[in-house]
Amino acid sequence: MERHEPVSSPPQPVRGSAFPAALPLVRLFPWHAAGFFAVNGAITAVNVFTGPPWWGLWLLMATGALLGVHYLAYKTVAVDEGWVEARVEELNLKSYDRSHIEGLKERHAGGTAESKRDPGSGN
């Protein structure tokens, strides 16, 4: 049996997703990030040349918080099933307790009553 490594690709939104109104978040996030770095870079440069007080810090924190919220919304919409499956497989391969993971899978798939009992509980 040949094992294939999961191919990592940028997440693409599912067109029939439950968030059709949020799809502009996916398209606009790269522009928002580029604008954040350009504008805050310019503001920081002006602030450095003018000296204290460091008023640019407040703008950087406020716009950074907004960019962070946009990023979280972007990741919520941009995750598709292929990305999720690849991450699950990656975590399974990196697992140090593989037998525990396999036991959970077996119980979830409707394994035997014997496999549903926790071996560490003493029952």
List own/partner pairs for 36-40 with CB under 8 A and 24 or more apart.
Answer: 36/63, 36/64, 36/67, 39/63, 40/64
Task: List pLDDT tens digits, range 82-121.
Answer: 878 888 888 877 766 677 777 888 888 875 545 445 555 5
Per the prediction, the chain carries an average pLDDT of: 75
Total-model pTM: 0.51
